[in-house]
Every structure is written in structure tokens, then in C-alpha cells.
Amino acid sequence: MNGKKYDIINPATEKLSAIIYAADAEDVAIAVKAAKLAFPAWTESGALARVGYLFKLADALDKHADELDYLHVICMGKPIGNSSSSKRAKVPPIDHLYQEINLPKGMLNILSRIGQPYYEALAKYMDIPKLSFTGSQPTGCAINKAAADSNLKKVTLELGGKSPLIIFPDADLA
């Protein structure tokens, strides 16, 4: 990371909750390069091996649920147990879970940043063939324009919402 940081303030207490490194275009390039290098081995590992990592991750998430709830609460200021949503950029990294399950190096690259310049750097990066974003309309427009100006990558935008969900008819909402 470039060394720049930003503070995460608990809105309920107005106290510092965490300090997050702020990614820039150079960090995007490093992360994309790592992912590109890791991808061939990942695809050759076979579906069963990849599914195994998903099950390990699910177990790690269950094991660390209290810690993750706490981290979410101190960043969002909401009581544990209530439903909530947040942008990834505002939640403390949980990359230690991916290390715990021994996910191959380069398969997950977490970058934290808020603002259009960061997202535009992702959209302009030629080695990224597809980008998905949930957030504001102005940032979504900037991403779409940057993607069109680069390699015409596919872009999925969920603008104005916080939690895109697909709810099936058999969902128990009671």
C-alpha cells in the first residue's frame, strides 16, 4: 500500500474505530498483477478444490462471527443483531480469514478506498475484463465512462442502493 491512511470513526461514539490504508492506482496495478499471476493455477486446481476453499471460508466466517459483528458495529454505529449494510470500503479488512484458510496467494486482493479516483483507476485498468459496483450514481457514471474509454470492459452497476438482493418466493421473511 502507498502509506496513505484514513480514519474510520464510529458514528455512535464519534471515536476512532480503525485506521484503513487507502489504495491508489499503483495499488490497483499490484493487486491486478497478483490476481493475474494466480489465476492459471487456480483454474487448474479443479472445481472440488475451489469448493473446498468456499467451505473453509464459511467455517472461518462462523468461527469469527462475533469479531466480524463487532468490527461492523464500531464502523457503522449500529447495534449487533439489527440488519445493516455498508460499502466494502468502510469495513475493516478481514483478509486474515483468507490467510487462515490458506487461500492461494494472489487469489484475493483487498483494497480499501473511498471516492471516484480509486474506482476510475479500477475501471481504466486494461487487465480487468469485468467490474461490478454498488454505490452512488455519479461514481457509477464515472466508472462506466472510464471503462468505455479503456477496454470496453463489462460493467454491472447497482446505483443508489446499498444492498442489492435477490429474494426468492420461498424466503422466510417472518
**Three-state secondary structure string covering 19-83:** EEECCCHHHHHHHHHHHHHHHHHHHHCCHHHHHHHHHHHHHHHHHCHHHHHHHHHHHHCCCCCCC
Write down the catalytic residue from 14, 44, 100, 158.
158
Q: Angle between the 65-76 and 47-63 helix axes, to the nearest 10 degrees?
A: 70
Judge whether 143 and 131 are in contact, CB under 8 Å.
yes
Write the single-letter amino acid at 158: E
d(CA 101, CA 31): 20
Q: Please indicate whether residue 158 is annotated as part of the active site.
A: yes
- Which residues have a catalytic role annotated? 158
